[in-house]
Each structure stands twice: as C-alpha cells, then as structure tokens.
C-alpha cells in the first residue's frame, strides 16, 4: 500500500506540478539551449560551435559566454538540462568531433576529457573502479558507518554497478562494454562522481576494436543525488535515484558495445527500461510515463526530451508480453542496422508477430491502465496514468469526422464514442489517409475494467468497418487509429459511427486470389447478420473483366441475429486469359427485410498456370496424357500456355516423369499437383 501511494503521488505530482518531478529549474535548458539553437539557425554560430556550447552547458555551465547565460545566476548547482541524463547531448558532440574545425576539436577534446579524482574504490565484483573526492565541491557524502575507509555512498554505487553488470551482461547476455585498456588506472570500467545538476551521463571515448560502430566509454554520476527525483524506493528517493542512474548509464555503456550511432530515442528508451529490470521498486521512470500517455499522437521514434524517456513502456511491453532478452536481440541486430528496425526480423522469427502488429497490441496495453486495468496486461498497470482522450463524440450518428490530433508515424489517436441506452449494433467505419499504413481497433468497456476488443480489418486504402453488437451493454466505446508508417509525418484519419436498430449486415471476402483459365474457381462471401432479428439475404456477384460468375446457391439465406455463413461464388475465366492477367470479383448481399441494407466487397483474382493441364482446357484427363505422349515421343504440340503446364510433379522440367504422374492422377486417383493452389471452398 505504501508503494502504491508513492507511485500515485509521483503521477499526481507530474500532472499538477509537471516539472517539479525533475530537478528544480529545468526551464533554464529551454532558455540556454534555445539561445544556442536560435543563433545556429540564423547563421550566427556554426553547428560545431553550437555543439561545443551545449557541452560546456553540461560540463561547466558557469563558463558559458554571457549571452548564453540564463536570466538567473548560473553556477555549478544550477540545473541546465530538462533531462535526467546528458548522454545524448554529449554523444551528438562526440559523433561530430572529427568534422569540426581544428580549434573547436581542441576545445571539445578538453571538455570531453576524463575527470581526475582524489580517491579510487574497486567494486566488490571487480568489474568497476569508482573515482571520487572526499573534499571540495565535488566530494561525495562522507558517512562511513562501517569504518571501512570508503564512504557508504561510494560502496553502495559499487554494489549497484555490480548488480547492473550481473543482470545485463551475465544474465541477459549483452556484450560487455569494450575495454579502455589502462585508462583510469586499470582495465576496470570507470565511474566518476561530479557536482552536476542532473543524474549522470555516459561518455563515449574511443572507437572500439570491432568491425561495427563500438566505442569505449566511462560514466559520470551525480555526487550525492540530492533533490533529483521523487520515486518510490523504500530506502528513499536519493538512493532510488542512484540505483536507476547506474542501471541506466551502464545500459548506455553496453549500447556503445553494439552501435554508438544508433537512434538516440531508442538508446534512451531501452536505458530507461533497464531501470525497471534491475530496480523495479524505484519507479523513477513513472515521472516520465505521463508524457507518453498525454501525447499518444507523437511518434514513438521522436527524439524529444523527455518523450524518449517515456517510451520505456515500449520495451517493457515487449519484455512482459514476449521475453526480457528481446531487446538484446534488437541490439545485436543494431550492429548492422538500427536496433528498432532489427525488430522487423527478431519479432517474426522469435515470436511470429510483425513489428506493426506488436505496436498495435502495445497501444491497446497503454490504454488499459489505471482504473481501466483488467489484470491481463502491464503488471503495474493500476499505478500507471490513463491514456488521454482528445476526441469525444457526444451524439450519433457522425459521418467522416476528422480526428483532432493527427498521429505521426508509430503514433496513435483515440476517439471516445457515445453509447445509446436503446438496443442496437454500433457500426464504426475507419478511413485512414491513403499515403500511410494504418491499424484500427475498437475497445468496448463494461463498467470500468471489463473490455471486449474488436480489430478492424482494413483494405489497401486504409478503410474498414466493424460492428459492435448490443452496444447498450457497454459503458464506453473507444476507437484507436494507429499510423504504422514509421518515421512519417502526421496524417489524418476519418471516422463514422451510427447505431443500427433494424436490419444490418456485413460481407467479407473468403478464399485465395489465384485462378486458373477455364476452371471453376471458388471464392466466398462471409455474411454476418448484425440486425436485431432474423433476416433473409440474397447474394450477388460480378467480375470487372467479364469472367463468368455465379452464386452456387442462389436461394435466400436466412440468418438469425448475430450469426453468419459463407456463400460460395463460382468464377470461370474464359479461354485465352494468360497467366499474370488480373481481374476483380465483386460480391455482395442485400437484405430482403429492408432493400436499402446491403454490403459488398471485392477479391482480386490473378491467373496462374494449372500444372498438369497440358493442353490448357481447364481439365485434367486422358486428353492431357495423349497430348503429352505426342509431345515427348513424336514432337507434337507442347504444353500451353507455357512449359510449366506440363510439370505435373512441380519439380521444374516437364518430362516423362510428369507423364507417369499424370497417368496416376487420371487413372489411379492420386492428388492433383501440390504446387497448384487448392480451392477450399
């Protein structure tokens, strides 16, 4: 209960005083960095100079030129980052270091140099050397309760560092950070303490030994963590801040073993997620999650502080739904492409799900938080803030309304639809911008936390319809639209909704898209009665290429409310239709109760060669055998419309082996060639 109260307090603190959950005075970064960015944008300073100024702001704010000072006094205790971690600012400068003019290179080299401290302590596990001062402005808290000669603060950090190594390298299987040789006094990984106004940073130092973009590094941490975080650590917020800083920054060091040039948002996303993996009791990342929930339209891949910290919820979903090592798989792929795109390979191979499908499911998880939690998604969902809904419809019907906040690539937008007390089905239509790939879902909620989830099947143009039966049983219905075109700009979607109380139906195509010339090919129309009572339907079909179509059972189909069936349509392409030629079959149904109620759909058909049909007449019979014998032994007419028509065994060439198999098909009842698509309707 104490922990829950602390977590809820952190969320409340963000919502009421959103910036107090970070270090005091973070508005000054927007003043300092905005001045730098403004002067760069108007050509007053070069890009290299802007980087050097930002590094000076991080490393020694009091050394900034007067024109880049904030309006209040800047000293070593004044926060200048709207951030918990300065790694990305320093990494950007380090990446660009060799392209800067010589004078700026020298200045940057001096700014990025390792600090020197008075004392050293080796962590109990032997992987880390900690460098600290016991006097002066940069000194650490000196309490030494065990009289070991080493401050308790330093010993604690050593323990947290060993735990980070053990979890990330030994248990999760990440690569260890590349060795820095004897820099820092020996080959151990080095951690320094400094009087900085943020949590810490990981500084890339030298190009590593591998063929990919790896780099050596060291970590710099706050020298006391006082006043930096409101979190739920039972040992206190300062200790909690120390724990998560080490987990976070060591993950950056590990990332540099794979690719120091990877996407900055992904680096921060996985580093913040690692805090949860090591020190679940701290929940400092709760200070950032409300930003994700309040701006779901923002691209997951957007590099904006503090948005990239809030995206820790994406790898958290992946680890809880699939496996904690999945992010390591992404970083392993990140040696050769960016780690986010490596998920395009690892998710299907390891878990049989596409990245787009995973993101669509993930957004549903982010909606089912707070009071909406149903106990089946995020483990700590009750303590998470709820998703902000920007669009609320007050009455139905509505037609072709535009969503208010257009989602960017891998962003989403939510619409709350009203529920009617009168019985009926809610028909919801989604229409995405044609220049994007979309996903759409409807969540229908009973009470507060009992949910039914409906996926909307979209066509190639991003249009789809879903029916929510007995909508009156729900307390709220929410439409979610997702822009799945990664890295794309904002795009709109339109939506329509109405309550249907009488006759209603929907039709969906069933079957494959392969057809054979002159053969009786079957496709289907799945008909669902969404009306409130039993209804009768007639099915119709036609083909835009003039191919022969007919409904195999032309009688009226009687369906009780909520039931469905599949009507089979015969499609026969005429003679002369060559392989590769395409046509489209339109199928539909109309209500006999109300003739204005109808629905139709299409399914494409592409001609292929039916292997074994040697003479291309739409049949496998003795004529194919005699024609093939004539071709093989007497130089007669060959297979039509191409050589593969004679390949009954599906192994490439057409020869006497195919003739033997064709004979067994016709006279012994063996199955048709396996390479032909079987009609299941």
Q: Residue 482's closest CA among 432, 540, 552?
A: 432
Tell me the β-bridge partners of 493. Answer: 432
Long-range contacts of 45-52 (CB under 8 A, 24+ apart): 46/101, 46/104, 47/96, 48/96, 48/99, 48/100, 48/101, 48/104, 49/104, 51/92, 51/93, 51/96, 51/100, 51/104, 51/108, 52/93, 52/100, 52/104, 52/107, 52/108, 52/111
Strand order in the sheet with 425-432: 398-402, 493-500, 425-432, 463-468
Domain boundaries, the chain: 382-500, 505-608, 611-681
Architecture of domain 382-500: Sandwich (2.60)
Q: What is the mean pLDDT of residues 271-289?
A: 94
> Residue 364 has what pLDDT?
98
Closest-CA residue to 566 (of 539, 591, 531): 539
The answer for residues whose C-beta is within 8 angstroms of residue 576's C-beta and 6 or more apart is 517
Residue 414 above 60 pLDDT?
yes
The first and second tokens of residue 184, run together, are: 């820092």
Considering only CA atoms, which of 236, 233, 235, 225 is closest in space to residue 193? Answer: 225
Looking at the domain 611-681, which fold is it?
Type 1 dockerin domain (1.10.1330)
- Radius of gyration of the chain from its Cα atoms, rounded to whole angstroms: 33
Query: Given CA atoms 361, 366, 371, 375 in this order, what sign does their dihedral have?
Result: positive
pLDDT for 84: 64
Task: State how far the Cα of 347 lies from the Cα of 326, in Å rounded to an integer.
Answer: 8
Residue from 61, 320, 103, 321 nearest 197 by CA: 61
Least trusted range by pLDDT, from 204-208, 300-304, 412-416: 300-304
Q: What is the DSSP string of 434-484?
A: TTS-EEEEEEEEETTTEEEEEEEP--TTSEEEEEETTGGG-SEEEEEEEE-
Instruction: Kindly state the average pLDDT of the residues 403-430.
Output: 94
50: phi then psi, degrees, rounded to nearest 5: -65, -40
SS3 299: coil
pLDDT (tens digit, 9 = 90+) per residue, 571-586? 999 999 999 999 999 9
Please list, in sequence order, all residues whose beta carbon lies within 8 angstroms of the beta carbon of residue 235, skipping any fewer than 6 positions away: none
Tokens of 122: 């080796």
> Phi, psi (5° rounding) for residue 529?
-90, 105
Q: Classify 390 as helix, strand or coil.
A: coil
Residue 75 tokens, joined: 């000293």
CATH value of 505-608 in 2.60.40.10, 1.10.287.610, 3.20.20.70, 3.90.1150.10: 2.60.40.10
**pLDDT > 70: what percent of the chain?**
93
Mean pLDDT, all residues of the chain: 89
Q: What is the pLDDT of residue 365?
A: 98
pLDDT digits (tens, 9 = 90+) for 525-559: 999 888 888 999 999 999 999 999 999 988 899 99
| CA-CA-CA-CA torsion sign (198, 202, 203, 204) | negative
Percent of the chain past pLDDT 90, that is, above it, reads: 72
Whether the pLDDT of residue 58 is over 90: the answer is no
**pLDDT tens by residue, 609-642:** 999 999 999 888 999 999 999 999 998 999 999 9
Q: Is the pTM of this model over 0.95?
A: no
Half-sphere exposure of 290 toward its Cβ, with a 13 Å CA cutoff? Answer: 19
């Amino acid at each position: 209960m104490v922990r829950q109260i602390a977590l809820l307090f952190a969320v409340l603190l963000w919502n009421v005083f959103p910036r107090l959950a970070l270090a005091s005075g973070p508005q000054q970064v927007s003043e300092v960095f905005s001045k730098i960015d403004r002067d760069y944008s108007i050509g007053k300073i070069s890009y290299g100079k802007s980087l050097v100024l930002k590094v000076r702001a991080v490393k020694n704010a009091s050394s900034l030129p007067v024109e880049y000072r904030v309006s209040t006094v800047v000293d070593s205790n004044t926060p200048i980052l709207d951030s918990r971690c300065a790694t990305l600012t320093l990494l950007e400068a380090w990446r660009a270091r060799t392209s800067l003019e010589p004078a700026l290179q020298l200045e940057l080299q001096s700014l990025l140099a390792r600090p020197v401290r008075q004392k050293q302590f080796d962590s109990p596990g032997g992987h880390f050397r900690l460098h600290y001062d016991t006097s002066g402005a940069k000194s650490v808290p000196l309490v030494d309760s065990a009289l070991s000669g080493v401050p308790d603060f330093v010993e604690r950090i050593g323990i947290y560092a060993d735990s980070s190594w053990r979890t990330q390298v030994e248990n999760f299987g990440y690569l260890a950070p590349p060795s820095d040789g004897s820099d820092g006094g020996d080959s151990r990984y080095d951690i320094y303490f400094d009087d900085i106004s943020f949590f810490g940073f990981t500084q890339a130092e030298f190009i590593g030994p591998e063929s990919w973009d790896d780099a050596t590094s060291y970590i710099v941490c706050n020298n006391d963590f006082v006043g930096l975080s409101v979190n739920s650590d039972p040992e206190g917020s300062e200790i909690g801040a120390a724990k998560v800083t080490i987990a976070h920054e060591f993950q950056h060091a590990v990332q540099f073993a794979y690719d120091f040039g990877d996407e900055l948002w992904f680096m921060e996303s996985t580093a913040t997620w690692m805090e949860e993996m090591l020190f679940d009791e701290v929940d400092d990342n709760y200070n950032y999650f409300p930003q994700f929930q309040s701006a779901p339209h923002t691209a997951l891949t957007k590099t904006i502080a503090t948005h990239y910290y809030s995206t820790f919820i994406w790898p958290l979903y992946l680890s809880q739904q699939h496996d904690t090592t999945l992010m390591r798989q992404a970083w392993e792929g990140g040696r050769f492409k960016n780690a986010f795109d490596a998920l395009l390979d690892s998710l299907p191979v390891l878990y049989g799900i596409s990245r787009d499908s995973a993101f669509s499911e993930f957004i549903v998880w982010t909606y089912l938080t707070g009071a909406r939690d149903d106990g089946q998604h995020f483990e700590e969902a009750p303590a998470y803030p709820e998703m902000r809904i920007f669009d609320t419809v007050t009455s139905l019907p509505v037609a072709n309304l535009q969503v208010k906040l257009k989602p960017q690539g891998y962003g989403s937008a939510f619409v709350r639809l009203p529920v009617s007390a009168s019985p009926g089905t809610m028909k919801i239509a989604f229409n995405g911008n044609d220049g994007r790939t979309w996903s759409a879902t409807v969540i229908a909620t009973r009470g507060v936390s009992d949910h039914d989830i409906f996926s909307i099947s979209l066509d190639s143009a991003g249009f789809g319809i879903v029916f929510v039966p007995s909508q009156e049983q729900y307390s709220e219905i929410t439409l979610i639209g997702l822009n799945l075109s990664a890295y794309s700009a904002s795009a709109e979607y339109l939506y329509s909704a109405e309550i249907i109380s009488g006759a209603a139906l929907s039709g969906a195509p069933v079957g494959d898209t392969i057809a054979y010339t002159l053969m009786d090919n079957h496709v289907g129309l799945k008909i669902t009665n969404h009306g409130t009572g039993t209804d009768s339907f007639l099915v119709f079909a036609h083909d835009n290429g003039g191919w022969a179509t007919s409904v195999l059972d032309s009688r009226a189909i009687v369906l009780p409310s909520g039931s469905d069936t599949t009507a089979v349509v015969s499609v026969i392409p005429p003679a002369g239709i060559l392989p590769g030629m395409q046509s489209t079959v339109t199928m539909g149904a109309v209500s006999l109760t109300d003739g204005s109620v109808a629905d139709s759909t299409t399914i494409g058909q592409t001609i292929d060669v039916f292997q074994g049909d040697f003479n291309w007449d739409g049949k496998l019979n003795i004529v194919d055998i005699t024609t093939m014998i004539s071709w093989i032994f007497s130089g007669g007419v060959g297979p039509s419309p191409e050589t593969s028509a004679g390949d009954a065994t599906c192994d490439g060439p057409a020869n006497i082996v195919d003739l033997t198999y064709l004979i067994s098909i016709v006279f012994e009842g063996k199955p048709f060639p396996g390479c032909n698509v079987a009609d299941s309707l």
